[in-house]
Structure 1
Amino acid sequence: MATAAAIAAPLTEPPRGRQFLGHPFGLGVLTLSELWERFSYTGMQTLLVLYATHYLFQPAHVGAIWGIGPFRAVMEGMYGPLSPAALASAVFGLYAGLVYLTPILGGLLADRLIGKTRAITLGALLLTAGHFLMGYEQTFLIALLALVLGVGAFKTNITGQVGDLYAPNDLRRARGFQIFVMGISTAAMLAPLVCGTLGEKVGWAWGFGVAGVGMVVGLATYLAGRRWLPPEPAPIHKGGIVEPRPPLLPGEGRRIVVLVALLPVLALASVGNEQMFNAYLLWGEANYRLVFFGRTMPVTWLISITSVFAILGVAGTIAFWRWWATRWREPDEMTKLLIGTLICMLAPLILAAASLYAAGGHKISLGWAVIFHLVNEVGFASVYPVGMALYSRCAPRAIGSTMVALYYLHLFASNMLVGRLGGLLETMSPANFWLMHAGLIAIAAAILLVFRKLGGRLLAPIV
């Protein structure tokens, strides 16, 4: 572990001789650091609902959690009486939502007070503590708080450091981010295989503990590679005076209104994808024939399936639009968002059809899972990254970073909604449960069509 003096030492200009896949060597440091952070996060996330439903929130164990009485009273005040499964779903939604809200605070912490390097280090320490505390029943709520705050300090700032590696006119920037995202996808594929298998087959504490070890490796990687990272920018505060920001240009206020109004629509478009870490795992546990090469596999391996298709979905979508552009005009972001949302709508329809087949008492083949994850990831590849591109392009320069951070709020809202919807799996038929998700995504597609007609000109590039 580095000393406080080492962490506080000023960064120098990263050496330029050493390269990582034709990019600044700091990209390799940041990609590996983020890979281990995502490994630990995804590993914990895949276990959370299963652990809470099958073990922690059962009557024999729930009373051991420090502060569970007041916490449960607050949750039931929002959602009504909650069974163990419904409480687990609500807690998951709250946790998964907050990890997309706290990065705004993490960005402000870095920009205004301590800088990106210290913020990332603080976030990694909180994440490490949170993962290890998950291994104890009593500290469950403390662990979740540490994890939420840790992600907030870590996520936005390490992504910002990737961008700081490149000059504004460096054409390698986009490819650098693609390498960075591939690291995230690789971690998301491996974490359920390791943490999920240990948690389900050996013991819950083992799964959470390995996630904590992964975070320790990520922190060590980051601190060891600090000399290859970009220098911290000049602080906003100089002599107690805040440097003025550039003013909004004419018409940019209306752009902001449209971008903010799009957030709840994108939240609806994402409910099918975000439900995969929640009720989908419980549904899959009850309905899939979880046999792989003659052996029963952990249900958390389903997340590894979707991570493989996430990599293929992004690569395939990029290749498709490149091919399209050689023959026809490539559509704008709003059109791609609409197409992606319509594809996302098909994914829960597949699960509804599978539920009808399983209603006869049949365990369904994992082929249904392959089809579902393939369709969902192709659709989501045209929603999440395309939305990010839209917000980064259309955001006024005066508040560009803030608008990109606000983009994550749609995932906060989506996960809060998912937490509420997930509890309905106990009271609705599985087919109707997934039809409900398809209907919500269809509503998002209809609203996007209206936005495309009415707001498309406002979101056109400023010349």
Structure 2
Amino acid sequence: MTVADATPDYEVGDRDDRAFLGHPKGLGYLGFTEACERFSYYSMQTLLVLYMVNYLLVPGRMEDVLGLEWLRTHVYDGLQGQPLASAIFGTYTALVYATPILGGIIADRWLGRNTTLIIGGVLMAIGHFLMAIESAFLFALLALLLGVGAFKGNIATQVGALYGPNDLRRAMAFQIFYIFINASVIVAPLISGTLGERVGWHYGFGCAGIVMIIGLVIYLMGQKHLPNESKASRTDAKATREPMTRDDWTRLAALLLLIPVLAISLLTNQEIFNAYLVWGDQRFNLQFMGTTLPTSWLITLDAGVSFAMLVAVAAFWKWWGRTRREPDEISKMIIGSVFTVAGGLCLFTAAATTPDDAKIGLFWPVMFHLLNSIGFAHILPISLALFSKIAPKQITATVIGLYYFGFFGANALVGYIGGLYSSLPTTTFWLIHVASAAFGLVAFIVFKLVLGKRMTDTVQDQARVLS
């Protein structure tokens, strides 16, 4: 979100434009475009592992996938079945958070953000349609990776560029933008997930591609309401850059140390799209009123609970702050880690108390989603606020880009740890995730004790806005 705040590379539009919920009309076009892109992305997230485990990576089909045998032999040490699917998923989702840096460079130096974003949307649509060709599976993933990289950062920057530096509507604009994203996360599994599991895998992927095209059409229709690119603003920004002080370098070092800690602490949350879905597909009792619910609906459950907890946690701390001192960012991240540990223990308990020949009831999984979502609400938006708050102003955009390497590391870990699901006892598998959350808890406490004041005592306080 704050990438846009840090990189004002556009001429700001009319401040009096309040045609969309009191905001510039361009926000509506960008919001609906982002909703379509996130629908596309989370459709892929929901279906990918289930598609590979239940359909593609089985004898008789996987041999026809171009390049897969080479990849399996030279990169994944001969893995097969669920471990191979987990490894491919981890690589894909990790690189999703690395390619936006490339997309930003291309936009800044050569093509501009508008053109780069459009190319990204086209590549994503192509990638989804290529999923219908089983032999082109790896090429489809490549197209999707490049597409997300070109799209992801460039649209957020345009949201911030709709507002001047003193326009107080900016914070609310990103909250509205985030609502569009969360709505898509909830809807995508219900539509694409159901189509993929019940009608045919390619129908689910194709639906995502069609929605991505709709998003591109919306974006093109709104061009006249979007900011115009300005090279002059970039030149001015470079000219006014100040040298970094010793305190700046110290805060930067602290943030860099936090990145791998975040990666480890996010393991349980990111596993939801990987081995957790496979486990749920195999062991959960998904019967409801005589009907077996699609496994992909677990993602909708998680998204819905996460959205509700984001709102509830923000409301709680607003209420708390009226009469008491509100905790700082690191303290909230410590609280979040406690809930994440508790959520992981729910999965361990479910595995430990259910016989191997019985289905797992939904009580423990629902409790996991509830507790983990409370942890998510205390860690994800708060950590982003912390990075944007204490990053040296000369390199704020770069630091925010580095922040997303935490997700890169988390998803890379998911690819490796998720591959152990088939070979480890399920109780041991989930205890590993509990341990990762506990590691984050301890590390955040250490940061609080050693660097607490330095990491919270700054002039620019954005945590209340983002949380």
Name the TM-score class by shorter chain.
Answer: over 0.9
Give 1:211-230 correspondences, 5 Å limit: 211-230=208-227
CA contact (8 A) 2:30 2:219 kept: yes
Aligned pairs for 1:4-15 (under 5 A) are 13=13
Residue 326 of structure 1, aligned match among 313, 322, 340: 322
Pairing of 1:305-454 with structure 2 (within 5 A): 305-454=301-450
Mapped contact 1:12–1:227 kept (Cα < 8 A):
no
State yes or no: 1:249 paired with 2:260.
no
How many angstroms does 1:271 deviate by?
A: 0.4
Residue 185 of structure 1: aligned partner:
182
Are residues 1:160 and 2:176 paired?
A: no
Q: Deviations over 1:359-416 (max 9, x none)?
A: 3522122232221111111110111110110011111111000001110000000000
User: Aligned partners of 1:302 and 1:102: how far apart in 2?
Assistant: 28
Q: Any conservation in 2 of the 1:11–1:226 contact (CA below 8 Å)?
A: no
Deviation at 1:237, TM superposition (A): 7.5
Aligned to 2:64, the other structure's residue is in SS state coil
* Distance (Å, rounded) in 1 between the aligned partners of 2:407 and 2:351: 27
Q: Indicate conservation of the 8 Å contact 2:329/2:456, yes or no.
A: no
Superimposed CA distance per residue, residues 128-187 of structure 1 (whole angstroms, 9 cap, x where no aligned partner): 111111111111111101111111111111111111111112222111111111111110
Q: Is the 8 A contact 2:348 2:427 kept in 1?
A: yes
- Measure how far apart 1:456 and its partner are: 1.5
**Partner AA of 1:52 in structure 2:** M
Deviation, 1:114, is: 1.7
Counterparts of 1:270 and 1:237 in 2: how far apart (Å)? 34
Aligned partner of 1:196 in structure 2 is 193
1:96-135 to structure 2, matched below 5 A, reads 96-135=93-132
- Going from structure 1 to structure 2, the CA distance change for 1:228 and 1:54 (only over 3 Å counts) comes to same
Name the CA shift for 1:455/1:357 in 2 (closer, same or farther; >3 Å).
same
Letter in 1 for 2:124: L
More off after superposition, 386-395 vs 10-19? 10-19
Query: Displacement, 1:316?
Result: 0.5
Decide whether the 8 Å contact of 2:182 with 2:307 is kept in 1. yes
Query: Residue 139 of structure 1 is aligned with which of 128, 133, 136?
Result: 136
Give yes or no for contact 2:17–2:23 (8 Å, CA) kept in 1: no
SS at match of 2:228: coil
Aligned residues: 449
Unmatched segments (≥5 aa) in structure 2: 1-9, 460-467
Matched residue, 1:3: none
Structure 2: how far apart are the matches of 1:94 and 1:178?
30
Q: What pairs up with 1:252-271 in 2 under 5 angstroms? A: 252-271=248-267
SS of residue paired to 2:432:
helix
Match of 2:276 among 280, 292, 314: 280
Is the Cα contact below 8 Å between 1:14 and 1:229 reproduced in 2?
no
Identity of counterpart residues, as a percentage?
44
> Are the aligned partners of 1:324 and 1:330 in contact in 2 as well (CA < 8 Å)?
yes
What letter is aligned with 1:119?
A: T
Q: How does 1:14-163 map onto structure 2 within 5 Å?
A: 16-76=16-76, 80-163=77-160
Contact (CA 8 Å) 1:393, 1:461: kept in 2 or not?
Answer: no
Deviation at 1:15, TM superposition (A): 8.7
Instruction: Return closer, same or farther for 1:40/1:295 CA change in 2, 3 Å cut-off.
Output: same
Q: Is the 8 A contact 1:111 1:235 kept in 2?
A: no
**Is the CA contact (8 Å cut-off) linking 1:75 and 1:90 kept in structure 2?**
no
Check the 8 A contact 2:187/2:300 in 1, yes or no: yes
2:244 maps to amino acid = L
What's the TM-score, normalizing by structure 2?
A: 0.93
Q: Following the alignment from structure 2 to structure 1, what is the Cα–Cα distance between the partners of residues 452 and 353?
A: 42
Please give the root-mean-square deviation of Cα atoms over the aligned residues, in Å. Answer: 1.8
Q: Is the contact between residue 29 and residue 222 of structure 1 (CA under 8 Å) also seen in structure 2? A: yes
Separation (CA, whole Å) in 2 of partners of 1:124 and 1:32:
13
